[in-house]
Structure 1
């Protein structure tokens, strides 16, 4: 006679849960679990050579988290998206992650002079509107940060979190609100080749990210060219904020908790409205860039 397997998350073998056992452990019926997987791709079963489908023991806790979010008032799709995002750490590149979550995001080729002007516009808008946002900046190299330091010291006075990245020799310890925390990037970090400004708050969300095109040795600094993307969509900005928080070792902070809630893509009508605003922004930036050259 077969011995029943425990359905406790701490004692079940990895990948050894039948759907009935997952149902028993979580209190979610088998038909409901199948509906979740068909409509939302969660939870994901592993198919054995025998053809049977099995779930991981960790899926028990993930399903329980979905139920907790549902009890807190989130829709099912929001609950699942939030759990999946928390369980899948983002890459170390803001640029790559933005393009990954929003494949239709246009890419713009800009000089660094234009990129700095766009960054200043974002920072000024944050000072005028945002209430205690989480603010992140990527500056590539320490000398570039030093030029921006007085400005960002002022910005930090209005922010809940202010974290900047560059090739600093050392990282600062976690900082109090109102001060800037510098985070040194390892040699192999993609962020070393990226310029970014991310402002994540309930009333103002915007993310700008750009990577430096290779082969520009000897080009004057303000003439160096970057491929840039930007987004006003809360879901995209939340994803960018999570990349930065993770790179700073602060993925469990309140910043990430708020970002997780916003990182659920809205309906197509809302997305279309953001796309129209971004297109107008892109047109204005293109005019500025042409005048810079």
Structure 2
């Protein structure tokens, strides 16, 4: 078979399941837990696989059946030396290409962020919440709101370049970003909850040292799609794990499963949209 045919993403997940003897549910579980197999996504969000994926899965199964642990078998077959992507924005754009980016001023991002935070506090049940603030000075301005989120959330983590130590009983949990972390330039809020999934991710356009703070531009995406929200939450959990946060491993396990479908009640989206409009109007 020619390499071009091996690389052609023309297999649906059902096709892959039939070719490998696995179920679609198990393939999705492997993808969420091990990053394998790694599908290509259509603009609709549907997964597509290649003949090379079939061959790699069969190689993994052969090694597993010979007694090799699954994660080791996957690493052997894929040559998995890839460092996990530690950018929420980059991962959302890669895995969910239907999300349309927009350049927004910081003041508009604040309106979106406050709306998500408010809805999360008011309605989300057992939410897992992540925020990325770039620098500690920006986190300090949001800290009263995030203290409240930590009070009502299942788990709440704040990521930034922190210069002060965290107190023993202080919440949210702080995640110290590495010097070379792409998250240092990102603005992120993730609310992963069955009744209120939402994510906003943005990265700051370079070269704005002389721009007034409220006018700084960010390239941004946001959505209430549960799959995209869960993907963003997983990235954040892996960033926290790499930073040595003890709770991160448990969160990674909790976020490994598929999220619940989005409620069909239009009032849910309308409530969030209403808050956004109110905050935009207030800040304009």
Q: Could you say which TM-score interval applies, normalised by the shorter chain?
A: 0.5 to 0.7
Higher CA-based Rg: 1
1:97 is paired with a residue whose SS is: helix
Mapping of residues 199-218 of structure 1, within 5 Å: 199-218=191-210
Are 1:252 and 2:239 matched, yes or no?
no
1:239 is paired with a residue whose SS is: helix
Mapping of residues 233-244 of structure 1, within 5 Å: 233-244=225-236
Q: Check 1:224–1:169 CA distance in 2 against 1; reply closer, same or farther (3 A cut).
A: same
State the TM-score, normalizing by the size of structure 1. Answer: 0.63
Residue in structure 1 matching 2:149, options 150, 155, 168: 155
Mapped contact 1:193–1:211 kept (Cα < 8 A): yes
Q: Check 1:282–1:131 CA distance in 2 against 1; reply closer, same or farther (3 A cut).
A: closer
Structure 1 stretches of 4+ moved >6 Å: 37-40, 53-56, 277-291
Mapped contact 1:137–1:198 kept (Cα < 8 A): yes
Q: Check 1:129–1:244 CA distance in 2 against 1; reply closer, same or farther (3 A cut).
A: same
Q: Which runs of 5+ in 2 are unaligned?
A: 1-16, 23-36, 38-48, 72-77, 242-246
Deviation at 1:91, TM superposition (A): 1.0
Residue in structure 1 matching 2:132, options 121, 133, 138: 138
Mapped contact 1:171–1:182 kept (Cα < 8 A): no
How many residues align? The count is: 227
Deviation at 1:201, TM superposition (A): 1.5
State the TM-score, normalizing by the size of structure 2. Answer: 0.65
Mapped contact 1:139–1:165 kept (Cα < 8 A): yes
In structure 2, C-alpha distance between the alignment counterparts of 1:207 and 1:142, rounded to whole Å: 21
2:187 is paired with a residue whose SS is: strand
In structure 2, the partner of 1:11 is none
In structure 1, the partner of 2:20 is 34
Are 1:231 and 2:228 matched, yes or no?
no
In structure 1, C-alpha distance between the alignment counterparts of 2:62 and 2:124, rounded to whole Å: 42
Mapped contact 1:92–1:243 kept (Cα < 8 A): yes
Q: Check 1:88–1:289 CA distance in 2 against 1; reply closer, same or farther (3 A cut).
A: farther
Mapped contact 2:115–2:275 kept (Cα < 8 A): no
